[in-house]
Amino acid sequence: MTSQAEIKRRMFLRIPVRVEGALFLEDAAPSKIEIIELSSAGVALVTEQTLEGMQEFAIAFSLGKMFKTIRVKVQVRNRMVMGKRVRLGCKFLDLMEADKNVIAGYVSRFVALAAPTVWPTTISLLCFVDALVRIIALMLEHDAGGFEQAQLLLMGEQRHFVMLTLYAFCALAAFGLRVPITNEREKRRYVLSALFLAAACIFTVARGVQLAPHLLEYIKTPVLLYFASGYMVFGLITLFVVISSLLSFRKISTALNVLAPYGVRLPQAKENSD
């Protein structure tokens, strides 16, 4: 049976960090420490001092340039020797409420998996709308030239129409695969969505490069300028979003690894404690 203390300990989400700080002892100069885990309840830190017999001391650290320095007294709960350094698991003793809120917000942002999906979802929808506008314009243009031309277009014998259709499909697939990321399966959907968006990006960039030499011809006509330069604009924005999505993949994996034990163990712990 899981104890109430164990349940409470698990409820404070811990995240991996690399934050430099200082350790303060009486009658001694401050020494450097490195915080490697952080939660609203305490920290895990690494120091070159053995601190034998020391159970309580003060530390100071900052979570970034935009954050104020947090100074707090801690109590050693566990100790592990790591070669020439010592890892200490410490509990906060007198953490001010304001500082606790800062840490809680930092931890929440670390595991917030909605943020990496906002821009990809938006740009996927915009690309799909852009593709539809281009397809409709192309069909109207050919329809104005006669029924037979429109038939050839709808039969897929027009290369540009087929490419636009693929562009629309990739953008729609990228949009449809976007879901809130809470597990490994949804992470794989996130990657697949990024690949579809990358395919849409390749089409828009390639088409933009192809039309670039002719932009001067369309400057005096805003509608034509949109159809000629819009590819490059959407292509560059989409490329940036795809790169950002891929760079976010590591953070997503780390956050899921952090969340996994809490999502699995907490319900079971509560059930056993009744």
Cβ atoms < 10 Å from Cβ of 240: 13
Please write the tens of the pLDDT for every residue from 41-67.
899 999 988 777 778 889 999 988 888
Q: Is 174 left (phi over 0), alpha (psi -120 to 50) or beta?
A: alpha
Report yes or no: 72 and 95 within 8 Å, Cβ to Cβ.
Answer: yes
Please write the tens of the pLDDT for every residue from 233-263.
777 788 888 888 777 777 777 777 666 655 5
State the pTM of this model. 0.57
Give me the amino acid identity at 194. Answer: A
Q: How far apart are CA 225 and CA 220, in angstroms?
A: 8
Predicted confidence at residue 227, as pLDDT, reads 58
The pLDDT of 3-13, averaged and rounded, is 50
Report yes or no: 207 and 160 within 8 Å, Cβ to Cβ.
Answer: no
Give CA separation, 224 vs 7, 29, 74, 143, 218, in Å: 64, 70, 66, 18, 5
| Residue 188 scores a pLDDT above 50 | yes
The pLDDT of 153-173, averaged and rounded, is 76
How large a percentage of the chain has pLDDT more than 90? 9
How large a percentage of the chain has pLDDT more than 70? 71
